[in-house]
Structure 1
Amino acid sequence: MAMASQDQWLSSSSDKNCKVNFRERLLIIDSKLGGKDVEQLKFLCQDFVSHKKLETSRSALNIFDLLLAAELLCEEDSFFLAELLYTLNWMSLLKHLNYTKEQVESLLPTQRRVSLFRNLLYELSEGIDSENLQSMIFLLGDSIPKIPMTSLGLLSHLEKQGKIDEDNLTFLEDLCKKIVPKLVEKIEKYKGEKAAQLATLPVDKETESLHQGEEEQLFSRSDTTKLLGALQERPCQNEHARSNGDRATDGALALGSMIPASATRRASPNTPNSEASTEEVAVYGMNRKLRGHCVIINNHTFTSASSLDVRPGTHKDAESLRRVFKWLGFTVCKHDDVTKGRMDEILQEQKSHPDHADWDCFVFCVLTHGKDREVYCSDGVPIAIGKILSHFTANQCPRLAQKPKLFFIQACQGKAIQPSVPIEADAMNPESTFPPLEYRIPITVDFLLGLSTVPGYLSFRHMEEGSWYIQSLCKHLKTLVPRHEDILSILTAVNHDVSRKADKSGLKKQMPQSASTLTKKLVFPVPPGALQW
Structure 2
Amino acid sequence: MWSSDAQANEAISSDKTFGNMNSINLYAISEIQKEIDPSDMISLVFLLYDVPDTALQRLVIYERVYKDSIGGSVSDLLHQWAVHTQSRSTWKHEFLEALVICQLNQIIRKLGFNVADIKRNFELNNSKTYINPMKKLLYKLCEHIELENLTKLKNTLLTYNINTSDYEHCELIFLDLMCKKFIKFKQYSYGNRVTSHEYNVAKLADIIENFNGLEKLAQDLRTLEDANVKHNVLEKPNMTPVASSSKVNEEINKINDDDFSDSFDLFNKLMEDVKIDSLKSDKKIQNRTIYDIKNPNKVGICYIINQEHFYPSKYSIENKSDSKQLLPRKGSTKDKERLKRTMSALNFEVISDDNLDHITMKNKIESILKYRVHRDHSIFMLCILSHGTRGHIYAADSVKVKVEAIENLLDCEGAKHLQGMPKVFIYQACQVDEQVQTPELMPDAPNYYIKKSDILLYSATAPGYEAYRLEKYGSLFIQILCKVIEENADKAHLEDIFTSVSYYVYKICTKLRRDQLPKKETTLLKNLHLTKKS
Q: Same fold (TM over 0.5)?
A: no
TM-score, reference length from structure 1: 0.42
Give the TM-score normalised by structure 2.
0.42
The structure with the largest alpha-carbon Rg is 2
